[in-house]
Amino acid sequence: MDFTFTEEQQAAAEAAKGVFAGVAPDAVPSPALAPGAVADTHDRALWARLADADLLSLLLDERYGGAGLDAIALCLVLRESARVLARVPLLESGAAAAAVQAFGSDEAKSALLARAGRGEIVLTVAAHGRTGHDPAELAVTARQDGGSWVLDGVQTAVPWAYDADVTVVPAHTATGRTVLALVPRDHPGAVLAEQFSTSGERLGELRLESARLTARDVIDADGAWEWLRNLLATGTCALALGLGERVLRMTAEYTGKREQFGFPIATFQAVAVQAADRYIDLRAMEATLWQAAWRIASGSPGALPAAGDVAVAKIWAAEGVRRVVQTAQHLHGGFGADVDYPLHRYHAWAKHLELSLGPAAAHEEALGDLLAAHPLA
């Protein structure tokens, strides 16, 4: 593999830096002070600027107005977005559109992709199952009834559910296959209930009760859900990396100025060692992220399926982002909990990302299963 980014990927990252340069992490009420959601909707002004910069259509082909780039480019942009806590459904909408492009019907592609790339509609994915712990595809059943599909079940913690025009819902059939249903907002039989994340964002519990969809709105291609799930997980790792890098930078700036006994506390060995350990975490998060993104983007074979590389990236991201923000809070002292200082926001977002990724032990178990099924020579 080659970790060198292409000119197009670097251009996407530079464009993202320009768009996110003016974003303030504390532009909405603090999640520590807001009794419900910090805002009713995503940052629509920022969403429009991302569309104008062609960053919402990175993964789409030219015939849909896109740049035809790959998962690596998306992760580079997501990394920049997390550094400023950008409140936009960039990962979910981009990944859903890419899945429709790769596996969806011609009718679905025509109806959704160009509009999603221009930011006219928002897509999201219900990827957390009934409880957040069980596989998402097992939370909803799908059965064919004539020329239609009928869905029943519940998906929890759907990100940007109230903003999304279409939600991609994984569901299982009686034969054990997984399909992806494209459920429009306010569709008959689909009901939303409010939920809130640790970051204060508005989520939705999606309840499907005999929701009927046409065949064109159901993707039944083999491997579609696994591919989308891997892309979502890798994108979440990119968000964790960007957030962690910004938090460590904030910590370095603070400890370089905060003095005790006449010296900056950054010069104390105990502080320097903790910061160095977190730097190592971030570099491991980065290396495993690009390995996973490269496997998804290239489709290259390996000793293990791409899910193995994704599992390793999730192990490092889930553990690493938690350790980074905990160390940052410790080294900031009480200042880190001050709601007038943005570190507490990063802590809340980091916890949300950690919960979204799931426990490292579960990914270690999944990796062990893959190693058992694909013994290394």
User: Beta partners for 212?
Assistant: 150
- pLDDT 10s digits, 243-279: 999 999 999 999 999 878 889 888 899 999 999 999 9
Residue 109 to residues 67, 69, 160, 216, Cα–Cα distance (Å): 16, 17, 21, 10
Per-residue pLDDT at 1 = 57
- pLDDT 10s digits, 172-197: 999 999 999 999 999 999 999 999 99
Burial group, residue 132, by CB count within 10 angstroms (0-12, 13-18, 19+):
middle
What sign has the CA pseudo-torsion 88, 89, 91, 93?
negative
User: Beta partners for 318?
Assistant: none
Secondary structure (DSSP) of 62-93: GGGT-----HHHHHHHHHHHHHTT--S-HHHH
The token pair at 288 is: 């495993």
Average predicted confidence (pLDDT) for the chain: 95
Question: Rounded to whole angstroms, how far apart are CA atoms 156 and 223?
Answer: 23
What's the mean pLDDT in 284-309?
94
- pLDDT 10s digits, 56-67: 999 999 999 999
Per-residue pLDDT at 233 = 97
| Helix H or strand E encompassing 374 | none
What's the mean pLDDT in 94-112?
97
What's the mean pLDDT in 226-232?
97
Task: Specify whether the CB–CB gap between 203 and 159 falls below 8 A.
Answer: yes
Per-residue pLDDT at 377 = 65
Task: Specify whether the CB–CB gap between 123 and 169 falls below 8 A.
Answer: no
The token pair at 20 is: 């996110």
Task: Specify whether the CB–CB gap between 323 and 242 falls below 8 A.
Answer: no
CA atoms in the 13 A half-sphere facing the CB of 79: 24
- pLDDT 10s digits, 329-362: 999 988 788 888 999 999 999 999 999 999 998 8
Residue 91 to residues 168, 238, 364, Cα–Cα distance (Å): 13, 10, 24
* Closest residue by Cα to residue 126 from 61, 190, 205, 37: 205
pTM, to two decimals? 0.96
Question: Rounded to whole angstroms, how far apart are CA atoms 341 and 254?
Answer: 11
| Amino acid found at 178 | T
- pLDDT 10s digits, 233-245: 999 999 999 999 9
